[in-house]
């Protein structure tokens, strides 16, 4: 499975941004999809995950109520809608695929390249 994340950029605090991650190869609908973020020098942080059908999702505490993960299995794409952005949301954001519905990055088998999100104050 190859994953390509895009949609990052520079946004002011309080603004919104939508990230997308397109998959190729493999069977997209058989994978749990997740988003993680990482700041240079810090550990990778769980952001959100969504199950195979899209009916269930889970979020990291720092983004609950502000971010929404969704997926379109027909388009083989997972999205992360980010709202009420804060400067502390600044990070490289990565999409990933797993066979398990989990927040543990070690359980994700495939990773896309990061897309940078920068939130200015």
The residues, any chain, with a CB within 8 Å of residue 50's CB and separated by 6 or more, are 32, 33, 34, 56, 57, 69, 70, 71, 78
Q: What is the pLDDT of residue 50?
A: 98
Q: What is the pLDDT of residue 46?
A: 98
Q: What is the pLDDT of residue 19?
A: 98
Instruction: Report the distance separating Cα 21 and Cα 8, nearest Å.
Output: 11
| CA Rg value for the chain | 13
What φ, ψ does residue 79 adopt, rounded to 5°? -120, 155
Q: What is the pLDDT of residue 117?
A: 98
Instruction: Give the residues of the chain that fall short of pLDDT 70.
Output: none
Q: What is the pLDDT of residue 68?
A: 98
Q: What is the pLDDT of residue 26?
A: 85
Q: What is the pLDDT of residue 77?
A: 98
């Amino acid at each position: 499975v190859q994953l390509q994340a895009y949609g990052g950029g520079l946004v002011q605090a309080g603004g919104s941004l939508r990230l997308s991650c397109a998959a190729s190869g493999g069977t997209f609908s058989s994978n749990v999809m997740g988003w993680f973020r990482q700041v240079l020098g810090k550990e990778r942080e769980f952001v959100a995950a969504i199950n195979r059908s899209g009916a269930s999702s889970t979020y990291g505490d720092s983004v609950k109520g502000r971010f929404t993960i969704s997926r379109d299995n027909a388009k083989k794409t997972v999205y992360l809608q980010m709202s009420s952005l804060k400067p502390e949301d600044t990070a490289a954001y990565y999409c990933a695929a797993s066979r398990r519905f989990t927040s543990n990055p070690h359980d994700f088998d495939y990773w896309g390249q990061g897309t940078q999100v920068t939130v200015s104050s």
